[in-house]
Amino acid sequence: MQGTPEAPTSAEEPGAVARLVGVFFSPARIFESIARKPGWVVPFAALAVCGLVGGLLIAPRLDVDALVQKQIAAAEKQGRTVTAEQMEPMRKGMEFFIKKLSPLIGPVYWAVLVFMVPGIYHGLSVFLGKSGKYMAVVSAYAHVQMVQLVKAVLTVAVALPRERIDPEEMGRLLKSNVGAFLDPEGTPAGVRALLANVDVFDLWGLALCILALTRVTRLGQGPAAGVVLGVWAVWVAGSAALAALGAAVGG
């Protein structure tokens, strides 16, 4: 009679770099390894460094004047006149934020996302009585975001040849989502925000998240899909609503 296979020892577990690469080629094996031995520091560091470096490379190319002119046009549409004295502080404030502070947004964004979203996943799995370890969910989610790291690298590669970039065009530079192909002038902001989430990399990441939850929690494929897609649907609806509200207030 054949015995039950033993779990791999710690020495046989994939290393940190092997996990980063393996999530693209053998994700099930990587997530099973993470369930046994969570580890989030290396993928989070990769995301934070990429976010910081990408921000430092892109920030000098962002066109502050284009953004200021759009703010002035929006104010005039509401019947307000922006004087030269008012415009200069506005420009300096935007320039400080875009040139100095925006490179820091990437690391902060990843710090919030890598711990917040797994917290929601873990809470829902607890509610369903199928929870695993929270840090295993964090670790798996951080590794899933290697897909977004690829997207970020490609976006920077597309942006670097440009001398000036309208900040509002950043989300449309990489033609990986439906929203990037829409006319920004003729399409409502809410619709553009909604369809911007129909993205090749995002859908890839969702599929990996579903697989990850089936390995690091006791959720089956159906409930795992319900958790991941439900959280994503709330995010998409919220982002579309905020975009529509912002356009209504600004317009």
- pLDDT for 193 equals 85
| SS3 at position 217 | coil
Please tell me what DSSP assigns to residue 128. T
Which tops the pLDDT comparison, 26 or 64?
Answer: 26
- Amino acid at position 127, single letter: F
| Residue 251 pLDDT exceeds 60 | no
| SS3 at position 177 | strand
Chain segment 117-145, per-residue pLDDT in tens: 999 999 999 999 998 999 999 999 999 99
| SS3 at position 62 | strand
Domain ranges of the chain: 16-250
Q: Are the C-beta atoms of 133 and 36 separated by less than 8 Å?
A: no
Report if pTM > 0.95.
Answer: no
Nearest alpha-carbon partner for 219 in 110, 136, 150? 136
User: Phi and psi dihedrals of 197, rounded to 5?
Assistant: -85, -10
- pLDDT for 5 equals 41
| Residue 2 pLDDT exceeds 50 | no
User: What is the pLDDT averaged over residues 1-10?
Assistant: 47
User: What is the pLDDT averaged over residues 188-210?
Assistant: 92
DSSP notation for 186-237: TS-HHHHHHHHT-BHHHHHHHHHHHHHHHHHSS--HHHHHHHHHHHHHHHHH
